[in-house]
Structure 1
Amino acid sequence: MRRERSVPRAGWAEKVEEHGLAFHETAHPPHLARPYWDESVNYVFSMDEVLALEETVEELHRMCLQAVEHVVTTGRYHVLGIPDWVAPLVEASWRRRDPHLYGRFDLCYDGSGPAKLLEYNADTPTSLVESSVVQWYWLQDVHPGDDQWNSIHERLVDRWKEMSLGPGPVHFAWTTEDETGEEVMTIAYLQETAEEAGLTGTGIAMEDVGWHAGRGRFVDLAEDEIRTLCKLYPWEWIVAEPFGRNVPQAPTAWIEPIWKMVLSNKALLVLLWELFPGHPNLLPAYLNTPGNLASYVQKPLLGREGASMRIVTPDGREQRTDGEYGREGYVFQQFHPLPDFDGEHPVLGAWMVADEAAGLGIRETAGLITDDTSSFVPHRIAG
């Protein structure tokens, strides 16, 4: 694994916009000189490294599924802050094996030693368009003789075909609260993959999803039943709203399914360390206490974009980020410094589609926390 400089393509901004990255300016704080999509650098991997990483993330995914089974079997929903009325829904969804679509592991990896799991974004992961489409076209334009860890698009299409969702269109929902356009473009891309698989898709804002009390159904603005809802809207928000109280009554198929609440919660890191202590791809993690950790990252259970975090480094220094998360509790995970490549710190986003490793996206930042100031950089496998 190495980081190389490269010359950006002429008209690169227009090219990435054509391929769906319309939000590359709005999703990035305007005061930053470095663009969100940065093809002036790229990471180069060997095929052996990629094959080893594929094995790692598939093993981590299997471990995560075991953690769901553990929670459902033992009833330890309180560890994750899942409300009592929601627990039976999670259990029923898991026992039915409601189909899941995708997720993204965030890993610390420098090319030597085992990759370390930082977290699993299993409910509403983003950076999908740039991982699946945009960097693939960059590869074809700049390094056509090389390969890339990227079968995301093909696997998404195949997964839609496998899921047997039944009659009617699939509704694809985003929230109007997202002002960057990232979520609407991400969900539109998912709709594109579903339609390529032969399904009919229709877009809807989550705020426009209605409840028809007489029919006991969620409906769209035309009052047509929403039989399948693929949402880029977290389950913890749904169940916290009055809207969510109707979920048990409706036959709606949800993507992602509600059992993903176990995996989209950073308390998963605590459960994994309990179930697989000392595993080479895990970092010690504890709930609401640092335990015996002298240096750690304090993460809110339901935090996003690096908000409401606190880092205590081995030399005793502290760093905090702003945010309103944390009322639900915190995980204390052992501090493991991100690798340093020319002063930048990459985090590897390894994608799962269903239960198989599907590709890689890399975000990097000059700081200790990968947040909305990070940049996405492409990668390749040297030919």
Structure 2
Amino acid sequence: MDNADLTKHQRLRNELFQRLPDFWADLQSSYYALLDIYKFTKEEVDEIHMITEQIGSIYDKTARLMRQLPDDVFYMLGYSKEVIPYLRHKAIVSEGIIRRIDLVQTENGWKHYECNSDTPTFIMETHHVNGFVADYFKVKDPNSESELQLSQVINQLINNSIRGLENPIIVFTAHGDHEEDWKTAKYIQSLYKGESQLISLDSLQIIENDGLYTPSGERIHILYRQTYPIEHMELDKSVDGTMIGLALLDLVETGKLIMFNPISAFLLQSKAVQALIWNLHVDNSDVFTEEEHGIIEKYFLPTYLEPDYFIEHHIAYVEKPAFGREGDTIKIIDGEKNQHSQHNTYRNQVMVYQEFSPLPKKKVMTPEGLLELHILVGSFLIKENYGAIGIRAGNIITGNESCFLPVGMIDEAKEK
């Protein structure tokens, strides 16, 4: 590609994403959203949707089992003693509202990398922005109905939760100084049709054993914290040393505050839950039906809390922290080709060991020209039903430098 064509591409990309002022097409002085399209056939989209719901049902059944387990098991799965007392709390019928199932297409079919059940990002990109790019490339948007579906679920959950309250105060929150988090919270707030407020986390006021309040002193009934992880919340202290995160969880457990995603979503957040699922499968546990064992065998990757199995059988594997994020503190052990992420923020966590299944690569158009990037599919689960899908394109370890690659849907494989 010559300089004139690249300059034209950069201009067209800027023109398209300038139509979306509340979206972060660029992050930290670097490009994020790509003006390119990854094409799936309708059959492939249908398959991703089916797999997403099947995997979700495995996690949901596991959550019901986990509430019956002793605390010692939670320690093994990486949960801290401070947060364990809250893990069995169940506020709504569904285990979560918005969850993201990460999938990779391999030579042996689709495989499941991990599930972000508590605070998944990539929501606005897939449910809203994807359609603009699909229109630009004149292909169908596989997510065309997903935004309405997400809005209906959010409205139903909140409205059911505030039923009987005279003047409910509903607050959507995120870190105000984090562009992606803040605009994600703003987008989700826009899907709620009732009256609500968007307030930065550091502006909320908590009174232990009493309630959570807005800066103007209104007591909050619903707190929607899509990007504020509970594993971070439990460490938060006020200037006087009060454990404000745990105080917030106390308010939820005692019914003084309703929080979404609910605590039950955090119950499944540890990547070590995949080791629990795999162990039950290997032992042919009657926790799962024959059909469910088939789903685990087909889509889940072998996952353990120790690397012994992979070392003994000379199988490449990935070491990752139970509550790691953005590709941080990940190692790929593959003979002499070992690789690791640049950051080791979570090195003191419980580690999980999973069979290494390399991401496929594809040449995609970027503001730097054509680059060969690794492809990871994110597929959303809205309550128990499939939601939008999208692709993060980046390095062999998918980190926060990965790009958003929109997806389109075509009728025939020959059009790809």
Shorter-chain TM-score tier: 0.7 to 0.9
8 A contact 1:211–1:219 mirrored in 2: yes
- Residues in 2 aligned to 1:219 and 1:149: alpha-carbon distance in whole angstroms: 36
Quote the residue 1:238 is aligned against: 233
Report the Cα offset of residue 10 of structure 1: 5.4
Preserved CA contact (<8 Å) 1:364 1:374? yes
Gaps of 5+ in 1: 1-5
Match of 1:319 among 320, 331, 339: 339
Q: Does 2:406 correspond to 1:378?
A: yes
Query: How many residue pairs are counted as aligned between the two chains?
Result: 361
1:245 counterpart letter in structure 2? L
Aligned-partner SS, 1:73: coil
Of 53, 76, 87, which aligns to 1:58? 53
User: Match of 1:136, SS?
Assistant: helix
Q: CA deviation at 1:309?
A: 0.9
C-alpha contact 2:96 2:117 (8 A) present in aligned 1:
no
Q: Which amino acid aligns with 2:379?
A: A
Q: Distance in 1 between matches of 2:103 and 2:264?
A: 23
Q: CA deviation at 1:62?
A: 0.6
Aligned to 2:83: 86
Q: Do 2:171 and 2:198's aligned partners in 1 also have CA atoms closer than 8 Å?
A: yes
What one-letter code is carried by the residue in structure 2 that aligns with 1:53? I
CA deviations over 1:4-32 (Å, ceiling 9, x no partner):
xx9959543243243255422225x64xx
C-alpha displacement at 1:177, in angstroms? 5.3
Of residues 182-191 and 315-324 in structure 1, the stretch that sits farther from structure 2 once superposed is 315-324
Judge conservation of contact 2:102–2:114 (CA < 8 Å) in 1.
Answer: yes
Q: Give the Cα–Cα distance (whole angstroms) in 2 for the partners of residues 21 and 271 of structure 1.
A: 40
Could you say what secondary structure the match of 1:124 adopts? coil
Aligned to 1:295: 316
- TM superposition shift of 1:268: 1.8
**Residue 269 of structure 1: which of 250, 270, 274 is its match?**
274
Give ranges in structure 2 of 5+ residues lacking alignment: 1-5, 237-242, 283-295, 364-371, 412-416
Three-state SS of the structure 2 residue aligned to 1:369 is coil
Give the CA deviation at 1:150: 4.3
Please tell me the residue identity of whatever aligns with 1:174: A
User: What do the CA deviations read for 1:103-132 (whole angstroms, capped 9, x no partner)?
Assistant: 11111115x643111111111111211111
Tell me, in whole angstroms, the C-alpha distance in 1 between the residues paired with 2:43 and 2:346. Answer: 39
C-alpha distance in 1 between matches for 2:202 and 2:221: 17
Pair 20,63 (structure 1): closer, same or farther in 2 beyond 3 Å: farther
2:97 and 2:86 map into 1 onto residues whose CA distance is 19
Superposed displacement of residue 225, structure 1: 0.9
Q: Would the alpha carbon gap of residues 288 and 205 (structure 1) be closer, same or farther in structure 2, given more than 3 Å must change?
A: farther
2:156 equivalent to 1:162: yes
SS of equivalent residue, structure 1 residue 344: strand
Q: TM-score, normalised by structure 1?
A: 0.87
Distance across 2 between alignment mates of 1:154 and 1:285:
36
Three-state SS of the structure 2 residue aligned to 1:182 is helix
CA contact (8 A) 2:320 2:329 kept: yes
TM-score (norm: length of structure 2) = 0.81
| CA deviation after TM superposition for structure 1 residue 89, in Å | 2.2
Residue identity opposite 1:369 in structure 2: I
How far apart, in 1, do the equivalents of 2:308 and 2:171 lie? 42
Instruction: Give 3-state SS (helix, strand or coil) of 1:359's partner.
Output: strand
Structure-2 residue corresponding to 1:107: 103
Q: RMSD over aligned Cα, in angstroms? A: 2.3
Aligned to 1:347: 376
Whether the 8 Å CA contact 1:152–1:351 is kept in 2: the answer is: no
SS in 2 for 1:154: helix
Q: Distance in 1 between matches of 2:262 and 2:25?
A: 29
C-alpha deviation, 1:229, in angstroms: 0.6
Q: Distance in 2 between matches of 1:174 and 1:374?
A: 22
Q: Name the CA shift for 1:66/1:224 in 2 (closer, same or farther; >3 Å).
A: same
Change (3 A) 1:147 1:134: closer
Moved over 4 A (4+): 6-10
Alignment of 1:281 with 2:299, yes or no, is yes
Q: Partner amino acid for 1:373?
A: E
Q: Equivalences for 1:1-383 in 2 at 5 Å?
A: 8=9, 11-20=12-21, 22-27=23-28, 30=30, 35-39=31-35, 41-75=36-70, 76-93=73-90, 97=93, 100-110=96-106, 113-143=108-138, 146-163=140-157, 164-166=160-162, 167=165, 168-176=168-176, 178=178, 181-195=179-193, 199-213=194-208, 216-231=210-225, 232-241=227-236, 242-246=243-247, 247-250=249-252, 251-277=256-282, 279-293=297-311, 294-313=315-334, 315-321=335-341, 322-342=343-363, 343-365=372-394, 367-383=395-411
Q: Which moved more, 1:266-275 or 1:147-156?
A: 147-156
Task: Specify the alignment match of 1:3 in structure 2.
Answer: none
